[in-house]
Structure 1
Amino acid sequence: MEGTKVYTFMVRFRDKPQVFRMIQIDGGKSLEDLHYAILEAFDFTPEHSYIFSRNQVFYDPKGCDASDNGSGKTENEVCLEKLGWELKETWLYLYDFDNEWMFDVTLMKTEGGQDQGSSQAVRKKRELEKYPDSEEDWEEESEFDKPVEVVCSRKSMKSIMGQRDEEELKKLLKKLGMEIPEAENRKKKADVYAAALIDVLEGDKELMMKLFTGRGGRFLAGLAGERTVTLGDCMMHMKEMDMYHACGLVDLGNIGDAVIGLTKEGREYAALCGQEKWKACLEEKERLEKLLSLLVDIYGAAEVGYLYSMLNMYQEDTLDPDEFYEGIAALAALWNDYTEFRDEDSGQTYLSILDREEIAYVLKQRKRIGVKGYKPFCREKMEAILENGVPVLIPSVRRLLDCLQTSGGLDYDASMMLAMSFVQEVSLNPAPEAALAMGRELLEDWGIEPDDNVEELLKLVAGEAPSALLMGYSIEEYKKLLGI
């Protein structure tokens, strides 16, 4: 099966996220093959039913099981490459309906390659006891603190770039203002695009810096510096790691074994990022990126021009509009899963955490509702949210988290994940009854029976949560604006 990609998945045990496997499998394989690969990696016996859920829904009726992958074909008929599994997207894998083993399966990267015949677990150092007698049997020392070995890669910048999808390389060419070259004599487009990028980047070292986010540049400097980088650090910076890989600076083939390869160019750019001139520039860039991310998360979708004016509130000197767009906003869309959307009616360009269909819906509803403007935030409020997180914006979420941990039996991370899922749902439908119905459904998906106390807290959170439809106002704040 030549020409298919090699997929690398991180498979985490949901109840104990520190227990995980990195699994590589050919993109021409099926979900059923991935199912067997997961079982082999965790040393399970394949004797129970299973289901994959793209929506991460417990016993998802639209999920993919042994007989149907949602398209009317069995997994043996539909390969992974045709499922539309996106980078960093997580599916739920449920195995053994009696004991309910749940795993989060995240696509970490794809590489060009040939059919490797079978899957392989590239990290198998942790043990998972299948049916422990006591809670103590689960306890294992976390390996997220394991230092990562940074080595000199033998791979070239061109060979790593050539592994990327041609559409990704086209985006890099456009970002640098370059024309898209023609691929002649049956040459792979990815190789042609990579060669064109390298020709330009080798002649202008500082040009590559236009592709770096502040957070990304600083972490790259850390990889080549004296500071110890752990496997947990790398997992927290997977978007940045993917960025380096796209630019041909790092080899992630052995990341599962806590080894990262820096190409010759990767070492050069890491040194450049560590220079005082660029270090200060990257620190300031990262500060602005955090503010931008917070605003986009609150508003759901906002005009780039408005975001520019908001960020200027936090500057002693006025930001150059082009520098803001090219150096902050456009990079957020390129690397951080934000959507850049141009509204044909108004001619405005939006930056959003939503997909295009959802943005169109939000803009239509804003017009219908007649929202006059975005919720304003003073500098002090924004700094408080950045420092102390969601509870500053939604005070009642603290009580909901406590309730989910004490009554629902969830740990902090799981309760936060559930609460944030609820807040995201409310953002697109803040109506009280609809919000409560969504909250009940989420709780049921997590196996929690909602009582009166939990439902009351859901109502409070829904009333305080910012809504994309209301341009950052909560439903309760908007009622006060209208005098209701």
Structure 2
Amino acid sequence: MMKVCNNGKIHREEKSMGETKAYTFKVKPQEDSNIYRLIQIDSGKTLDDLHSAILRAFDFTAEHLYMFSRNRKPYDKDGYYSPYDDERRRADQETLSGLGWKLKETWLYLYDFGDDWMFDVTLVKMEDTEKKARTRQLEGKGVLEQYPAYEEDGWDEEDDWEDAPEDFVEEAEDASFEDNILRDFFLGEDWDEEDDLDIMSPVEVLPTNKTMEKLLKQKSKEELEALMGRMGIALPPVPKGKRKVPVYAAALAEELNKDMEPLLGLLTGESMEFLVQLTEGKKVTLADCLGMLGELDVYFACGLADLEDFDEGVIRLTPEAGKCAEICSQKDRRQQIEVIVKLESNMKRFLNMYGVMEAEKLLPLLNSYTGCSMEMEEFYDKVLVPNAYWDNITVLKMEEDEIIYVSILEEEDAEWVLSQRAEFDEIEDYREFTTQERKALEQGGIISLIPSMKELMDYLLDVKEVEEEECMFLVSELLHEGMLGVDIENFIAECGDMLRDNDIRMTHRFREMVEAVLEECPSAVLKGYSMKEYGKMMEE
């Protein structure tokens, strides 16, 4: 199998043949052995895949370096390190089976070379399987906070910042932007549900005195290498004694100021459309920005926007953002962007129903539904690749048949769906949705297609008094499991902690409601049909 990577190229993955094994690991933080997660993963997966699974299981953000050590030594010279470490053995190049991991053997997993989160990772079970095992959490106990509230322990954040050197404060504030500005402003510790926040209040768009080069210097070496690789811009030589980041940032900014097309080729249709809106002087509200947080993140990542004052309702654009918007405002370009936006928005709707779909079937469906006439090569370059780069979708290419698949799911889940579809080969075509169903999907999302979902949500919100945010998380997980065509036990394993925290017991009534939703949820394995519909098809 092959996938589109962050550099926009297609990466070939080794295809497993014959029998494989499912490994089950017990992962415990060294600071509290009462907390643990049981994680199942295919033996053909890499240490990098295991790293991602551990972070998901503990709800940690993937933004730091890591290493694994068979010797259980922190920063072991013989360990396996993040893919970005060119001087050590790379975790993404070592499969679990190839490591010869023995039953009951424990390794050290160290995450974040600053906070030094250390976990004991023990292989507790190996079993033969005919097909690849899906990575999933089987069981878990306890909660581990990645960023605990240290103020309770007497740490005075304001005093520490006041005493810190000025250059350190600036660097830390820049580095924490994505966590603190976008997330904390809307959902962070300062947010109070009782606050009277007018989401229709205007956001001020102003020029910034920071250049693209200065904003790009806030990126990591790996981020700049990925950006330049995707744009086809060669990495410049780095003089001895110089740091790579400033050199890369200067070279990238210089090249883009000569020609903005490589950068525009990296932006999605929605990113280009919203950038034009920001520069045209039209009213932009907080509600607009809430719906475009991903696009704002893209602007910051590309050095187009300084969002340091975003919590005060101010977006500052660099001169390069104006150049990009000017190009996008040209008549022919604007018409092209409108077509791309139409295809992008409807692509996500169809993928929410089908999960995974062949590009050669998806594009005609989109053209028919939107009245567009885009060709496959243009669709791949202008829609699929930019959206895959920013992780909006996954693009896979099967080695054996050269078919390109597009998915709303993560790569591993998409692989799982494709492997399971082979068992339902009697379903040849994707389910056709009526005009009424499509309209309902546009207005209320996929939830509107599941009649039993309303009863479940009413039960969670009104009877169990679950917070709305947690309710939506549970619903999201349930839809995800339903799309993958798995049973209720997987849902319980994934959401066990949250169910217990909200005193939701697996009573007969609750189990029936969850099973009803899983039965009615469009399944990616069944090409959009629900298990209930599939059962009726088999009876006919």
TM-score, L = length of structure 1 = 0.68
Cα distance change of structure 1 residues 202 and 360 upon mapping to structure 2, 3 Å threshold = same
- Where 2:316 maps in the other structure, the secondary structure is strand
Deviation at 1:441, TM superposition (A): 6.9
2:351 matches 1:296: yes
Task: In structure 2, give the amino acid aligned to 1:479.
Answer: G
Q: What is the CA distance between 1:406 and its match in structure 2?
A: 1.2
Correspondent of 1:457 among 513, 527, 533? 513
- 1:180 equivalenced with 2:218 (yes/no): no
Offset, 1:463: 0.5
Deviates more, 1:273-282 or 1:429-438: 429-438
Aligned residue number for residue 297 of structure 2: 242
Letter of the structure 1 residue corresponding to residue 340 of structure 2? K
**1:339 aligned onto 2:371:** no
Q: What amino acid maps onto 1:213 in structure 2?
A: T
* 1:79 aligns to 2:114 (yes or no): yes
Answer whether contact 1:53 1:92 (CA < 8 A) is retained: no
Equivalence map 1:6-405=2 (5 Å): 55=57, 78-79=113-114, 115-116=168-169, 139-142=194-197, 144-176=199-231, 178=232, 180-186=234-240, 188-370=243-425, 372-378=427-433, 380=435, 381-405=437-461
**Cα deviation per residue 1:149-197 (whole Å; 9 max; x = unaligned)?**
3221111122223333344444444444x25334332455444554554
Q: Does structure 1 retain, via aligned residues, the 8 Å contact 2:431–2:529?
A: no
Question: Aligned letter for 2:271?
Answer: G
Q: 1:411 to 1:245 in 2, by over 3 A?
A: same
Change (3 A) 1:325 1:446: farther
How many Å separate the matches in 1 of 2:258 and 2:171? 42
What letter is aligned with 1:465? C
Distance in 2 between residues matched to 1:118 and 1:171, nearest whole Å: 22
d(CA) in 2 for partners of 1:247, 1:225: 20
Cα deviation 1:313-344 (Å, max 9, x = unaligned): 22435211111111111111012442222222
Residues 355-364 or 149-158, more deviating: 355-364
SS at match of 2:525: coil
Write the deviation string for residues 235-265 of structure 1: whole angstroms up to 9, x where unpaired: 4322111211222211123323333221111
- Which residue of structure 2 aligns with residue 481 of structure 1? 537
Contact map agreement 1:288 1:311 (CA 8 A) in 2: yes
1:314–1:379 CA contact under 8 A, matched in 2: no
* Partner amino acid, structure 1, of 2:458: D
Task: Give me the whole-angstrom Cα distance separating, in 2, the residues matched to 1:376 and 1:414.
Answer: 31
Q: Distance in 1 between matches of 2:371 and 2:407?
A: 26
Whether the 8 Å contact between 1:436 and 1:458 is mirrored in structure 2 is: no
Shift of 1:444: 3.1
1:464 Cα deviation from its structure 2 partner: 0.9
Residue 409 of structure 1 corresponds to which residue in structure 2?
465
* Structure-2 change in CA distance of 1:224 and 1:129 (3 Å): closer
1:54/1:322 CA distance change after superposition, 3 Å: closer
Residue 476 of structure 1 aligns to a residue whose secondary structure is: helix
Cα distance in structure 2, aligned partners of 1:421 and 1:449: 17
1:304/1:329 contact within 8 Å kept:
no
Is the contact made by 2:356 and 2:414 (CA closer than 8 Å) also made in structure 1?
A: yes
**Cα RMSD after superposing both structures:** 4.2
Q: 8 Å contact 2:201–2:285 — kept in the other structure?
A: yes
For 2:482, the equivalent position in structure 1 comes to 426
For 1:445 and 1:469, how far apart are their aligned partners in 2? 32
Q: 1:398 to 1:325 in 2, by over 3 A?
A: same
In structure 2, list runs of 5 or more residues that go unmatched.
1-30, 32-53, 60-105, 119-143, 150-165
Distance 1:285 1:350 in 2: 19
Cα contact 2:429–2:527 (8 A) shared by 1: yes
Q: Across the two proteins, how many residue pairs are aligned to each other?
A: 394
Supply the AA of the counterpart residue of 1:214: G
Q: Which amino acid in structure 2 is aligned with residue 79 of structure 1?
A: G
Whether the 8 Å CA contact 2:440–2:449 is kept in 1: the answer is no
What one-letter code is carried by the residue in structure 1 that aligns with 2:500? E
Shift, 1:207, TM fit: 5.0
Instruction: Check 1:435–1:181 CA distance in 2 against 1; reply closer, same or farther (3 A cut).
Output: closer
Q: Which has the higher contact order (CA 8 A, sep 6+)?
A: 2
Give the C-alpha shift of residue 286 in structure 1: 1.6
Q: 5+ residue gaps in structure 1?
A: 1-31, 33-51, 58-69, 84-90, 97-112, 131-136
Letter in 2 for 1:389: G
**Residue range with higher mean Cα deviation, 364-373 or 259-268:** 364-373
The 8 Å contact of residues 422 and 439 in structure 1, kept in 2 or not, is answered as: no
CA 1:95 to 1:202, structure 2 compared with 1: closer, same or farther past 3 Å? closer
1:287, distance to aligned residue in structure 2 (A): 1.8
Residue equivalent to 2:21: none
**Shift of the alpha carbon at 1:462?**
0.5
Amino acid at match of 1:252: L
Give how far 1:143 is off.
5.8
**Deviation per CA, 1:80-125, whole angstroms, max 9, x where unpaired?**
5989xxxxxxx967979xxxxxxxxxxxxxxxx9754997797799
CA separation of 1:211 and 1:304: change in aligned 2, threshold 3 A? same
Distance change in 2, residues 1:262/1:80 (3 Å): farther
Correspondence for 2:523 among 463, 467, 474: 467
Q: Identity over the aligned pairs, expressed in percent?
A: 29
How far did residue 54 of structure 1 move? Answer: 5.0
TM-score using structure 2 length: 0.61
Q: What SS class does the counterpart of residue 366 from structure 1 fall into?
A: helix
Relative distance call for 1:445 and 1:308 in structure 2 (3 A) is: farther
- Using the TM superposition, give the Cα deviation of residue 440 of structure 1 relative to its aligned residue in structure 2, in angstroms: 7.0
Distance 1:362 1:114 in 2: 49
Answer whether contact 2:339 2:372 (CA < 8 A) is retained.
Answer: no
